Structure 1
Amino acid sequence: MTEVIDRAALPLPDGRMLQASAEGRRITLAVAGQPSIQFGIGPDAPTLGVDVMECGERDPQQAVWLASYWLFATRPGSQSLEWSGLPLTPAMRDAGLVMPAADGGWQTLRTAFWQLPSPWLRSGTGADFPQAMQMVSGVRFPRRPPKPVGEVYRRFDARLGSWISLRTLDIEQDLERFNRWQNTPRVEKFWEEGGSLETHRAHLEKLADDPHCLQLIGCFDDEPFAFFDAYWAREDRIGPYYEADHYDRGIHMLVGEEHHRGPHKVASWLPALVHYLFLDDPRTRMIVSEPRSDNDRMIHHLQRIGFHRQKDFDFPHKRAAMMALTRECFFDRCYLC
């Protein structure tokens, strides 16, 4: 028997509420009081049978998306949905929302569903930015797209019962909290970047001008709690230490607010950060991280969502653990509901 999360109402990224009512195993989903789709479900299992009984005629693709979202959120053990009575449209098939099943029917795969960029991604994907190679300091890598501004990712975590979102760092808005976080003894022990407001302003301005990295603020229910630095690995200092692909990304992570610490919070924000980076450019096949080799707690958190400890190696400033997560591994496990 797979796990079932009781969720009669599930917030959607656009702020509306997805409401579910059930009669036995017959489910009706509605948005803003308007019924969207009604379906019956089979026994809870890795492959879940879904029999569509009624579907909104105006936008059947959206109705099927809503059903998939609610089912994957409330049944984390289900890896695929096998449809009967599906009002198939070319748009559903072309988008990858549904795919052919081995028996000739149609299915929605959890691993494919979470790779659909909308509605989680709040900005365009890097897929639209052409690949134009350049050579800098003996390293050949693609020119990077302009950095986004504002909120870039938003998703409701059904298990935590909170919104997790990412926005780009604003120096004027975030300098004081960044300074406070970096001067916390717990953070300073591993980051070794404590200092004054002036020092941190200069540091953030330098990062803002660097096209190879992107500074993000993590929020729970719109409250800032963490700083993330995402970088293109090819032209980063980590590049020479492994065979970096042109679109590999890396992450540095700092949780600044004490009341947002804990394994249950990491289990929300860490998959969200990785999810955003994989959505941001579908050419990204791997995400890496290089915590200090003695940072056992962070290494454990990374391993829990699929990162593999490839090796330990020496940076000039620290002994580091090389942690790597492939796109396939992440979406096969899908720690997103």
Structure 2
Amino acid sequence: MTAVFPFQPRWRDLSADLTDTRLSLTDGQHPLIDLRLERGDTLELHLQDGHPGASLQGVWAACYWLFASDPACQQLTWHLDPPPPAALRSGLLRATEVAGHYQCLRSLFWQQPRPWTGDAPVAAYPQHMVISGGKRHPLRAPKPVGEVYRRFDARLGSWISLRTLDIEADLERFNRWQNTPRVMDFWEEGGTLERHRQFLETLAADPHTVTLIGCIDDQPFAYFEVYWAKEDRIAPFYDVDDYDRGIHMLVGEQAHRGPHKVASWLSALTHYVFLDDPRTQRVVAEPRADNAKMIGYMQSHGFHCEKEFNFPHKRAALMMQSRERFFEGCELV
């Protein structure tokens, strides 16, 4: 079976020739890796006889292809002598008790920040505690600008990406979305262009919130806010950690509503948040308690309802997803 997935960087193609016993990968016209597959309790990967040693890119591409092709696959066993050193340092591969045998675990693979986050720094921002607004919290890294996440979603056959909001480019779109009756019912933020400019400028000046535009095949369809929970109004309502992140979600384009689209963008948004800082152990959200559809969507993708509580402006459901649960049951493709 021969197939093609778009591959990072996006102007290149990863192609595969896959059978029950063989996987051969090329990047454009360049061979990456040629493997013999041995199927048993786990999928075992052997370099074909005469093939040169495996490169880091070849190992990564083979893991990606096999995990993306089969969401039920949780572990790969590689037979390598030696493996690329960077694969061990990064956690892409881990040594076993058997010499020459190395494992790639699905839960570790999807925590690799690249290529999903592009050229963003891999190391966590140094911790330095500060006090702002009467709250003690870590100093936050400068906000990103531009695209922060991109991944090809095989379920949709489309690219799902996140970029930071640009007020001049996105104001009219944001205004249209917020004035949609369906959105107004839950966000209650309808208004004029000038009101929304002030709204977005306030968030742009707020170091604890990043505003994002979600895109499918580079077409904007949603608005998201990602915030540090420790500095947010949600903090008093649960045992907040220094690196918990919260999310607000708005799908603006009618054509991109529905559970199959939620499966793509909610997993992408949560994935990005966990990749952005490896110290983040929980992602939280506080939809209105009567928003049964969104709560149901979130529960079907690993979030649980911790409790209901009263904000001054609404009765909210505290939805929570842990890093461990997200990656251990990771269904990213």
Q: 2:96 aligns with which of 82, 98, 101?
A: 101
- How much does 1:61 deviate? 1.0
Change (3 A) 1:331 1:23: closer
| Aligned 1:1-337 pairs, distance under 5 A | 8-15=3-10, 16-43=12-39, 47-53=42-48, 57=52, 60-85=55-80, 87-101=82-96, 103=98, 105-125=101-121, 127-337=123-333
- How much does 1:59 deviate? 6.5
- How much does 1:84 deviate? 2.0
Number of equivalences = 331
Would you identify which runs of 4 or more consecutive aligned residues in structure 1 move more than 4 Å?
54-59
Separation of aligned partners in 1, 2:50 and 2:123: 32
- Whether the 8 Å contact between 2:2 and 2:17 is mirrored in structure 1 is no
Change (3 A) 1:7 1:250: farther
- Whether the 8 Å contact between 1:56 and 1:63 is mirrored in structure 2 is no
One-letter identity of the residue aligned with 1:99: R
One-letter identity of the residue aligned with 2:88: R
- How much does 1:101 deviate? 3.0
- Whether the 8 Å contact between 1:79 and 1:111 is mirrored in structure 2 is yes
Q: TM-score, normalised by structure 2?
A: 0.95
Q: Deviations over 1:184-220 (max 9, x none)?
A: 0000000000000000000000000000000000000
- Whether the 8 Å contact between 1:134 and 1:140 is mirrored in structure 2 is yes
Separation of aligned partners in 2, 1:127 and 1:241: 30
Separation of aligned partners in 1, 2:179 and 2:122: 34
SS state at 2:77 partner = strand
Q: Deviations over 1:226-258 (max 9, x none)?
A: 000000000100001011111100000000000
Gapped regions of structure 1 (runs ≥ 5): 1-5
Separation of aligned partners in 2, 1:29 and 1:189: 49
- How much does 1:58 deviate? 8.2
Separation of aligned partners in 2, 1:156 and 1:44: 29
What residue in structure 2 maps to residue 3 of structure 1?
Answer: none
Q: TM-score, normalised by structure 1?
A: 0.94
- Whether the 8 Å contact between 2:113 and 2:122 is mirrored in structure 1 is no
Separation of aligned partners in 2, 1:113 and 1:68: 8
Give the RMSD, CA atoms, in angstroms. 1.8
Change (3 A) 1:137 1:209: closer
